[in-house]
């Protein structure tokens, strides 16, 4: 959401600054600028390298442990009968966890998260949807089942009640599964946003996996064939025109010919291969942490 809304706002500003005919669409207030800047930074979570990522996850895991244990009576706290984190499932496949969610939620606080502010910050996204008449819903698969489960209390965590490297790998797996199952598979319609999200995760995982191999001696293999700083910048900043000129445009292509220019392959081939690489990495992680689903 941060990536999309922030990208639209940048585009509206750029268009109005370069055109005599103004779009007259809303742009960020100072408060919205801070909010979406914070939200958007979460796409770079895996760019930070293993040590920083591990520290961020550990700190938030401990905060969750401290907060939920503080709600317990002393005996329940001593016996560790409280949950530390929850997991979101799509057709029994883990696609998110609450430790990751609190990291990517702007200005998150357990006892002070302002729901009214969250709604207020979301309004500009709704205004863009209305202004661009993008109100037709995507087709989705109706047989998908979304569930949640809490861990570390009566339902013990598969990785133990103390933070360890397996939780970090599990969090990466959640991100991969979110793209593969909750975005690409659940949404039937093809949309360029699918490749945007998948590619950004693929790009940053390519940078993180060598760290994991060096520090944990765990090898997770992904083909780096599609590694491209230019393509990443286009995916993250919604600026196709930086690399795509008028004579390059293919109107029938979801990305108007960008994959053809940079990779000599059409959108559907690139997207299918990126999803396949993410899926293979997810299966490797699943095997490493011995998680069955």
DSSP H helical ranges for 93-164: 98-104, 115-131
Alpha carbon distance 27, 11 (integer Å): 10
Neighbours of 161 (CB within 10 A): 13
Residue 293 lies in a domain: no
Mean pLDDT, residues 25-45 taken together: 90
Residue 36 lies in a domain: yes
Do the strands 85-90 and 93-97 form a parallel or antiparallel pair, or are they unpaired?
antiparallel
Q: How confident is the model at residue 1 (pLDDT cuts 50, 70, 90)?
A: confident
| Residues of the domain holding 133 | 2-288
Q: Please, how many CA atoms are within 13 Å of residue 116, restricted to the half-sphere of its CB? A: 1
The pLDDT assigned to 114 comes to 72
Identify whether the C-beta of residue 50 lies closer than 8 Å to the C-beta of residue 205.
Answer: no
Q: Please report which helix (H) or strand (E) contains residue 268, including its range.
A: helix 267-288
Question: What are the tens digits of pLDDT across the range 125-161?
Answer: 999 988 888 888 899 999 999 999 999 988 888 998 8
Residue 32 lies in a domain: yes
The pLDDT assigned to 241 comes to 67
Residue 108 lies in a domain: yes
Question: What are the tens digits of pLDDT across the range 221-280?
Answer: 999 999 999 999 888 876 666 678 888 889 889 999 999 999 999 999 999 999 999 999
Which DSSP category does 108 fall into? -
**45-59, 118-132, 185-199 — which is least confidently predicted?**
118-132
Q: How confident is the model at residue 31 (pLDDT cuts 50, 70, 90)?
A: very high
Residue 179 lies in a domain: yes
Identify whether the C-beta of residue 249 lies closer than 8 Å to the C-beta of residue 16.
Answer: no
Mean pLDDT, residues 51-57 taken together: 96
Residue 115 lies in a domain: yes
Residue 22 lies in a domain: yes
Alpha carbon distance 178, 87 (integer Å): 12
Report the first-to-last Cα separation within the chain, whole angstroms.
28
How many domains does the chain fold into? 1
Q: Please report which helix (H) or strand (E) contains residue 96, including its range.
A: strand 93-97
Asked whether the CA dihedral 70, 71, 73, 78 is positive or negative, the reply is negative
Residue 154 lies in a domain: yes
Mean pLDDT, residues 165-171 taken together: 97
Alpha carbon distance 288, 23 (integer Å): 51
The pLDDT assigned to 64 comes to 96
């Amino acid at each position: 959401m941060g990536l999309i809304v922030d990208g639209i706002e940048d585009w509206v500003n750029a268009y109005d600054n370069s055109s005599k005919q103004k779009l007259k669409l809303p742009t960020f207030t100072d408060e919205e600028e801070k909010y979406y800047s914070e939200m958007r930074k979460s796409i770079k979570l895996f760019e930070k390298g293993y040590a920083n990522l591990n520290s961020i996850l550990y700190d938030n895991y401990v905060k969750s442990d401290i907060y939920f244990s503080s709600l317990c009576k002393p005996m329940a706290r001593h016996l560790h009968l409280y949950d530390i984190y929850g997991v979101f499932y799509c057709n029994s496949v883990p696609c998110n966890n609450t430790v990751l969610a609190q990291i990517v939620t702007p200005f998150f606080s357990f006892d002070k998260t302002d729901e009214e502010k969250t709604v207020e910050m979301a309004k500009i996204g709704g205004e863009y949807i209305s202004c661009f008449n993008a109100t037709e819903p995507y087709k989705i698969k109706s047989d998908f089942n979304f569930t949640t489960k809490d861990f570390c209390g009566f339902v013990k965590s598969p990785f133990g009640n103390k933070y360890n490297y397996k939780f970090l790998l599990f969090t990466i797996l959640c991100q991969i599964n979110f793209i593969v199952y909750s975005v690409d598979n659940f949404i039937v319609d093809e949309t360029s946003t699918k490749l945007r999200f998948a590619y950004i995760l693929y790009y940053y995982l390519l940078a993180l996996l060598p760290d994991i191999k060096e520090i944990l001696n765990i090898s997770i293999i992904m083909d780096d064939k599609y590694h491209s700083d230019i393509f990443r910048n286009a995916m993250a900043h919604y600026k196709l025109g930086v690399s795509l000129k008028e004579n390059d445009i293919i109107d029938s292509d979801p990305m108007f010919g960008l994959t053809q220019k940079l990779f000599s392959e059409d959108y559907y081939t690139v997207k299918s291969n990126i999803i396949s690489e993410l899926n293979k990495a997810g299966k490797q992680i699943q095997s490493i942490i011995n998680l069955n689903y």
